[in-house]
Structure 1
């Protein structure tokens, strides 16, 4: 299993949100670049990055910063937020980003996901963000009427290999991952599952590994010190996925 420490970017700064609420954004680091360097020093191979401005405005923002980290940090970058066109996907993947996440597009433009998967294969992931098991889009500002398992099966059907599942109610809350929903998702599809939202400590990492998940995204717990990143990476095992 791999550990993906998270860097969320708003106005060029590294911030964290509570339950996806943009009004709760608070700065957690003086430098995204330095944060990435610290993650690398702790043994991380991947970093999960989110363009919060892009998610809110439905277009790519902060692009230069993401490409800089991909080029200079020594980390493989998994990036989501505001990616709505095949051209944006292509730009990122051909400029050093290792894996691109399509979220809102999975609901509103599944044809884009299908085209991206046909062209870029395993370098495409789909983010499924849900509250009360129903999918939310546009930076979690819009609710849909699609159950998260239904969307997961649709994505599996068009060839998506990686799914990132976030229980919005737990994101940034340090309340523990939603093992019940993650387990149900892992049983429902053959995709590789990455857990996101609510990681509070090493016990969550151990639980996700026991479920047989592919990866775990760790945000607030790393920044508060509740989750020692080096210990989490050691517990997870092989990071070379």
Structure 2
């Protein structure tokens, strides 16, 4: 299992949100560059980055900064937020980003997912963000009528190999991931599942490894000090899938 420390970008700053609420944005590092460097020093292989402004505005906003932070970090990087067309996908992949995450597009423009997977294969990840099991879009501001398992199966059918699943009610809460929903997802599709939201302590990493998820995204827990990134990475190495 891979540990993916996270940097969420809003107004050019590294921030964290509570349950996806933009009004709760709190700066968590002196700069995105410093955060990325600390991840690399702890032994991380992957980093998860999100353009929060892009997610809300449905376009690339902090893309230049994200690409530069990724390049300077030397880490493998996946990026989400505001990626709504092939130009945006190509922008990131042509600048050394390893995977791009399509979130709202998976709900509202499945053809984009199909086209992107056809052209870029496993570099395309789908982000499924759910509240009470129902998918949200547009920076978690829009409701949908699609259950997260149903959407995951649709994505599997069009060739998506990796899914980032976020339970919005757990995100930024440090109350532990939604193991029940994650277990159901892992057992419903063959895709690699990356768990996002709620990770607080090493026990959460162990629990996720026991579910056979591909990866775990950790943000607030690292910044607040409840999770030692280096220890989490060591534990995860014994549970590679």
TM, length-normalised to structure 1: 0.98
Q: Equivalents in 2 of 1:143, 1:198: separation in Å?
A: 21
**Unaligned residue ranges in structure 1 (runs of 5+):** none
Give the SS at the match of 1:177. coil
**Unaligned residue ranges in structure 2 (runs of 5+):** none
Does 1:230 pair with 2:204?
Answer: no
1:131–1:228 Cα change, 3 Å? same
Equivalent residue number for residue 22 of structure 2: 22
Equivalent residue number for residue 194 of structure 2: 194
1:223–1:239 Cα change, 3 Å? farther
Equivalent residue number for residue 101 of structure 1: 101
The alpha carbon displacement at 1:238 in A equals: 6.6
The alpha carbon displacement at 1:169 in A equals: 0.3
Q: Equivalents in 1 of 2:122, 2:239: separation in Å?
A: 17
Q: Equivalents in 2 of 1:239, 1:115: separation in Å?
A: 33
Matches within 5 A, 1:1-241: 1-237=1-237
**Contact persistence 1:175–1:200 (CA under 8 A):** yes
TM, length-normalised to structure 2: 0.98
Q: Equivalents in 1 of 2:86, 2:203: separation in Å?
A: 38
The alpha carbon displacement at 1:70 in A equals: 2.0
Q: Equivalents in 2 of 1:28, 1:34: separation in Å?
A: 11
Give the SS at the match of 1:230. helix
Root-mean-square deviation over aligned CA pairs: 1.2
Q: For structure 1, which segment, 61-70 or 48-57, has the greater mean C-alpha deviation from structure 2 after superposition?
A: 61-70
**Contact persistence 1:76–1:98 (CA under 8 A):** yes
